[in-house]
């Protein structure tokens, strides 16, 4: 079984958790950027990896594309990810 198939199967088995993550992302993005903007989180199996793509309709705003994504860091919670 190739990696992409394995990730697809895993995502199907975790459908409840991924659906919850998608709903939470949409909820918080709309609270931050306004109810009128389309928001979604795409979680897909790539050929060699898992791809998680956040999308917030910019509605002409340039600042949204420059928001920071956070990840766990051994130095402590909430440390900004470094590019």
Q: What is the pTM of this model?
A: 0.61
Residue ranges with strand state E in the chain: 39-45, 50-56
Mean pLDDT over all residues of the chain? 76
Q: How many other C-beta atoms are found inside a 10 Å radius of the C-beta of residue 73?
A: 12
Residues in contact with 47: Cβ distance below 8 Å, sequence separation at least 6, in sequence order:
3, 4
Q: What is the pLDDT of residues 28-42, one digit of tens each?
A: 998 988 888 888 889
């Amino acid at each position: 079984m190739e990696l992409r198939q394995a990730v697809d199967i895993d995502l199907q088995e975790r459908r409840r958790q991924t659906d919850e993550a998608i709903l939470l992302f949409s909820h918080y993005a709309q609270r931050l950027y306004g109810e009128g903007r389309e928001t979604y989180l795409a979680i897909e199996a790539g050929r060699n990896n898992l791809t998680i793509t956040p999308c917030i309709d910019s509605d002409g705003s340039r600042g949204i594309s420059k928001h920071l994504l956070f990840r766990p860091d051994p130095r402590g919670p909430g440390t900004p990810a470094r590019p």
